């Protein structure tokens, strides 16, 4: 049941059928090591929208995780100019201390499910700001425990099904172009998934599978629409 949910299948039965066709063996046979397994990737979809190239989207359920990083409040009108400056400044300032090459970016609006280090809604630390015009943004790395350096904070991202959009490279232009496409077109055209809440993520500097170059990703928390409504 857990595996069916993680990889985007509606029922354990549909997962077992797909798994058996792919591996020529049932999950139990693989588990008992009676037959070898092939790599089984998360559900990968392609969306094509008028006026845009086909976009690969991976739909994947991920468990709760924590991010250690630097945060600030940003205004919607200037986010495309201010956030890249903030990210590069944080990477230059904290990259060596955090010992990481791949960084997250997390945007949070009027949302109570992103928690702070004390387990309370992170947005409540910023009482008085208007989430109609502003939002919180944190850039950082996976947090596995230990002392939190001065000037940094820890947030908890809940278990979520993510739609992960791959940008063509790791440039600011590619990321912003993909973000405009997602929020300007994809959300209105996609008939399978809805946004879950007022937060979303990015990952910067992910190595390409070919071994040359890097790319960024944009992550949206989603749920499958109920077409019976």
Q: What is the pLDDT of residues 13-65, one digit of tens each?
A: 877 877 776 677 888 888 777 776 654 444 454 554 444 455 678 888 999 99
- Which pair of tokens denotes residue 92? 């230059």
pLDDT tens for each residue of 125-156: 998 888 888 999 999 999 989 999 888 999 99
Q: Is the distance from CB of 221 to CB of 122 less than 8 angstroms?
A: no
How far apart are alpha carbons 84 and 78 in whole angstroms?
Answer: 11
Phi, psi of 2, deg, nearest 5: -60, -45
pTM: 0.74
Alpha helices in the chain (DSSP H): 2-6, 12-23, 27-31, 79-98, 172-181, 187-189
Q: What angle do CA 141, 133, 122 make, to 5 degrees?
A: 40
How far apart are alpha carbons 191 and 21 in whole angstroms?
Answer: 27
């Amino acid at each position: 049941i857990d595996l069916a949910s993680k990889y985007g299948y509606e029922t354990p039965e549909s997962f077992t059928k797909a798994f058996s066709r792919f591996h020529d063996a049932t999950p139990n046979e693989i588990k008992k090591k009676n037959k070898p397994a092939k790599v089984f990737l998360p559900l990968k979809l392609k969306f094509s929208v008028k006026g845009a190239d086909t976009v690969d989207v991976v739909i994947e359920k991920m468990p709760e995780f924590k991010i250690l990083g630097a945060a600030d409040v940003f205004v919607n009108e200037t986010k495309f100019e201010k956030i890249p400056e903030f990210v590069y400044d944080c990477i230059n300032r904290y990259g060596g201390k955090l010992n990481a090459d791949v960084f997250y970016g997390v945007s949070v609006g009027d949302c109570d499910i992103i928690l702070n280090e004390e387990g309370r809604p992170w947005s409540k630390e910023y009482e008085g700001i208007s989430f109609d015009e502003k939002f919180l943004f944190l850039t950082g790395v996976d947090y596995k425990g230990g002392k939190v350096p001065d000037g940094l904070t820890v947030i908890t991202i809940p278990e979520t099904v993510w739609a992960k959009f791959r940008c063509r490279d790791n440039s600011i232009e590619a990321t912003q172009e993909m973000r405009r496409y997602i929020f300007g077109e994809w959300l209105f055209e996609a008939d399978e998934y809805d946004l879950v809440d007022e937060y979303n993520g990015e990952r910067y500097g992910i190595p390409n599978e070919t071994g040359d170059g890097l790319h960024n990703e944009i992550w949206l928390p989603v749920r499958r629409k109920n077409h019976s409504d």
